[in-house]
Every structure is written in C-alpha cells, then in structure tokens.
C-alpha cells in the first residue's frame, strides 16, 4: 500500500520505562484504563511527560505557522464578507496556539524554550504548512479539508488522558467546526461557479491531496511513537485509522461535488469497505518535515521576524507586571 516504506530495525530500542517505580507506574496506568484524567500535579512517568511535551508543542507550532498560508490571502479575499471570515479564522488559529502552549507549559517546558526550538528548526510542525497557498481556491481547500483532518484527529484525542490537552482540544474543535463550514461553503461556491472557478478548485485539491494524506502521520508500520501514545491514551487511534476515518467521511463529499482526487490507485475494498490509497510519496513527507519543503525557510523567517518585532512588547509587559502589583491608593 505504501510502496517500499518499511520499519528500520537498525536502531537499538532504549527502555523508555527504565528507573520508573513499578507501583506508581501500575497505579498511573490503571487510572488511565479507568478513563480518569491525569492532571499536571499528578505523578507521571518521564516518558509520558516527554511525549506529551513533544506532541502538544508540535501542535502549538502547527497552529501558529498554520495561520501563515491563509493569512497571506486576507488582503486578497474576493469580498468583504470573505475577508472578515478569513480574518476571524486566522485569529482563531493564533488563539489555538496560545491554548496549546499553555497546556504544554503545565508539563514544565517554558514558552520561550518552545518558541526557541521552533525558530532554530529543532521542533517540528505539521507538514501541510510548508506548502504555498497559490490561489484563493487553496485557502478554500485548506479551510475545508485540513480543518476536517484536524477535527478527525482532535475530536478523538480530546477523549484522551491528559486533562489540560483534552480541555484545550475540546475548545479548539468547536472553533474548527466553524472553519470547516466556512471552507466547505467556499469550495461549494467555487465548484458550482464558472468553469474557471471549478478548474481552480480542482487544481487546488490536486495540489493539497498528498500533503493531506501525510497530515495523519506515516503508516502504522513506520510510526515511531504511536504504540506508547495509544497505550497511554494520548493518541486515541493510529495514524492509519485516523486517515481511514477521514477518507470515509470526506471522499463521498468530494465526489458529490464532481471533484476528483489525484490518486489512480485509490479504491474501496469490496469486503471491508476500507479505502486503499496509492503511495502518497512518503519520501517527500520525510523531506518536508525535516526542513526541506517548498516553504519551510520562508515560514520560519516570517516567525523570526514576528518574534523580533514583538520583543519590545514582551519587555514592556514584563516591566508593567511589577507596576500592577503595587496597590493603587
């Protein structure tokens, strides 16, 4: 199903639970099994903390960088109504990153350290935001299908084990559902518009299809972290299962609009009804997430400039915090 992609067994596996107290570990795992939430002051294994920081931090970076491809279209939106809606969406995405950085901070990594790791290229963020939004139709496809992908993933994970992350995801998903409706409305408008508008939206879908397949992460046979994250209910389904859930929900809607996807091997298994996709070029996925995508350098450069331009505001806020602690008489 995925070309020649396979797990490499050459790396020796480290014991991720080395040094953990077996009794506390058993108690922690039993709590998760009972469906209870883990809160910041509860005991947790080091690996649970490390994995959560990695995943929530990547998610926060994805939101802040994710505002950029659509953000470039605010000034070029085709009507005042569309401009207002797009501005609200971009603002929401920036709000999501605040919620997520807050959730990650409860695990002990400071926001400054997270931002720094993003800016020096140490931390990852979602592959999809390293591609350009070439036309207005690209923003429509992003808002519909990338937000739909995010909802599939985040609604499931909001039922997970870490309290602060789950609560942030619940709020985020409510806003993403508005984004999805907005994106779908845009896509329908273009798909039922002039032949040129139809062509534009089909081209945008062709450009975004493979990155969207990559969005859910590499196949389960290759996913490094999936097994432990699912055991500890951080991820509520595997990458392939999330991808399948998206395909089942959204392929019929795409076809209903008379649009196609650029995958000649795509078919539905007659017995299982599972969608089987062709190889979406996993080499490209790994190149992009490791820094060599069409827009990686540009995206980080924009964030670095924003960080530098905002430094004086953060300095001023820090100074004023002291002023506010002095009681007014």
Q: Interface residues with ligand BYC (CB under 6 A)?
A: 54-55, 58-59, 62-63, 66-67, 93, 124, 126-127, 146-147, 150, 153, 214-218, 223-226, 229, 235, 239, 289
Closer to ligand BYC by Cβ: residue 50 or 198: 50
Cross-strand bridge partners of residue 267: 276
- Interatomic CA distance for residues 253 and 215, integer angstroms: 19
Write down the least CB distance from residue 228 to ligand BYC, Å: 9
Closer to ligand BYC by Cβ: residue 222 or 257: 222
Burial 37-56 (b: 16+ CB within 10 A, else e): bbeeeeebbebbbebbbbbb
Write down the least CB distance from residue 225 to ligand BYC, Å: 4
Write down the least CB distance from residue 35 to ligand BYC, Å: 20
Write down the least CB distance from residue 64 to ligand BYC, Å: 8
Write down the least CB distance from residue 63 to ligand BYC, Å: 5
Write down the least CB distance from residue 296 to ligand BYC, Å: 11
Beta-carbon contacts of 214 under 8 Å, excluding residues fewer than 6 positions away, are 127, 128, 280, 282, 284, 285, 288
Write down the least CB distance from residue 240 to ligand BYC, Å: 10
Identify each DSSP E strand in the chain by its residue range: 267-268, 275-276
- Interatomic CA distance for residues 224 and 91, integer angstroms: 33
Write down the least CB distance from residue 196 to ligand BYC, Å: 26
CA dihedral (138, 139, 141, 146) in degrees, to 10, reads 120
Closer to ligand BYC by Cβ: residue 227 or 311: 227
Closer to ligand BYC by Cβ: residue 177 or 311: 177
Write down the least CB distance from residue 127 to ligand BYC, Å: 4
Closer to ligand BYC by Cβ: residue 124 or 253: 124
Closer to ligand BYC by Cβ: residue 93 or 190: 93
CB nearest ligand BYC: which residue?
Answer: 66
CA dihedral (139, 223, 153, 2) in degrees, to 10, reads 60
Closer to ligand BYC by Cβ: residue 38 or 63: 63
> Dmax of the chain from CA atoms?
77
Closer to ligand BYC by Cβ: residue 58 or 202: 58
Segment 292-301 long-range contacts (CB within 8 Å, at least 24 positions apart): 293/127, 293/130, 293/131, 294/130, 294/131, 294/132, 295/69, 295/129, 295/130, 295/131, 295/132, 296/130, 299/65, 299/68, 299/129, 299/130, 300/118, 300/119, 300/121
> Do the bridges between strand 267-268 and strand 275-276 make them parallel or antiparallel, or are there none, so unpaired?
antiparallel
Q: What is the DSSP letter of 292?
A: -
Closer to ligand BYC by Cβ: residue 27 or 292: 292
């Amino acid at each position: 199903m995925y070309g020649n992609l396979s797990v490499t067994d050459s790396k020796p596996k480290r014991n991720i639970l080395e040094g953990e107290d077996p009794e506390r570990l058993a108690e922690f795992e039993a709590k998760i099994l009972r469906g209870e939430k883990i809160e910041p002051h509860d005991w947790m294994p080091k690996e649970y903390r490390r994995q959560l920081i990695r995943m929530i931090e990547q998610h926060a970076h994805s939101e802040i960088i994710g505002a950029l491809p659509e953000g470039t279209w605010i000034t070029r939106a085709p009507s005042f109504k569309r401009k207002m809606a797009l501005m609200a969406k971009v603002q929401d995405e920036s709000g999501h990153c605040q919620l997520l950085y807050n959730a990650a901070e409860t695990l002990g990594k400071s926001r400054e350290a997270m931002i720094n790791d993003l800016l020096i290229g140490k931390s990852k963020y979602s592959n999809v935001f390293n591609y350009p939004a070439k036309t207005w139709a690209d923003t429509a496809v992003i808002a519909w299908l990338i937000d739909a992908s995010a909802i599939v993933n985040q609604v499931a994970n909001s039922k997970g084990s870490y309290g602060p992350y789950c609560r942030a995801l619940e709020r985020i998903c409510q806003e993403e559902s508005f984004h999805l409706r907005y994106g779908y409305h845009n896509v329908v408008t273009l798909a039922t518009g002039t032949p040129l508008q139809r062509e534009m939206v089909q081209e945008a879908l062709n450009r975004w299809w493979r990155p969207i397949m990559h969005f859910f992460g590499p196949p389960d046979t290759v996913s490094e972290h999936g097994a432990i994250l699912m055991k500890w209910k951080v991820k509520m389904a595997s990458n392939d299962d999330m991808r399948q859930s998206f395909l089942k929900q959204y392929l019929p809607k795409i076809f209903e609009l008379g649009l196609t996807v650029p995958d000649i091997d795509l078919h539905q298994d007659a017995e299982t009804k599972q969608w089987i996709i062709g190889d979406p070029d996993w080499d490209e996925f790994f190149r992009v997430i490791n820094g060599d995508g069409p827009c990686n350098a540009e995206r980080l450069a924009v964030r670095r400039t924003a960080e530098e331009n905002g430094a004086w505001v953060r300095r001023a806020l820090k100074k004023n915090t002291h002023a506010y602690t002095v009681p007014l008489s």
